[in-house]
Structure 1
């Protein structure tokens, strides 16, 4: 596997409200814009010669990519396979209304809701992640979303898809994958 930097978009107004976004969009908050700028500062310290730059076509990722990669990328390609999980009719609704009674909340809320969400399902996201990585022909910087980020990292690290919810999350992070290992950069 090639070296990868995987970035999750910065906080949006809907993230702050606890809404399921899926393929819908909400703008980055001031914090989200600061997170994207911080991602850019991390990447500015790295040697990215020879890297390709990719983003989900969803506005929150494109906005993050512009802020984070503006100083290092001459061209950013969008790829629909990097979109967030499609949660169907749950898009725009508050996440807590779908959470299990004794749900464990992490930085991205209760991840168990995605197992029962309408829409494409986790297997669809995993298949998109593997297909995207299979088409890469060199190192890449990828700006995407919380759930697809986890499946990209599972595939790149050779983990079973079932490990997706054990990987760290949060917003505005930069994960560096190199020689089968992942490191979160700050």
Structure 2
């Protein structure tokens, strides 16, 4: 079974027409989980877990709620073990926005239409890793591919603005990256 993204959540002709008018407009991302340092350094991702699960506390929370061991979330498990644990969690999450977001990400970033299941996770993992390696996917490549015009990073009020400044001075990068106030640790 495949994931049909074309008209996802569009339940009328009017909705489809409105979406088609705006679908190519740039994205204004006011809540980005990439750190400004990651954006500036633009290091290619090493594997599917790093790009898809690394730092995503929403996915981690769902895994914890599913009873997944912390070792398989933020611990020392292998990337394959972590991905398998995520696939098993995701299979139980139909109806949760993360289920739909994750499959939209698979389609948009990796061109994968298949649903992730406990039976096909390894194939999906390998296909994602192949794309990461072939395209040398990095934060800036993903930002450019998604047509992101503005990013608001989620920052502690005590964070240095060093990386934001470096990004602002980089004339080769067109996306505006600004800090946003996230006082979780303050």
What is the TM-score of this pair, normalised by structure 2?
A: 0.27
What is the TM-score of this pair, normalised by structure 1?
A: 0.27
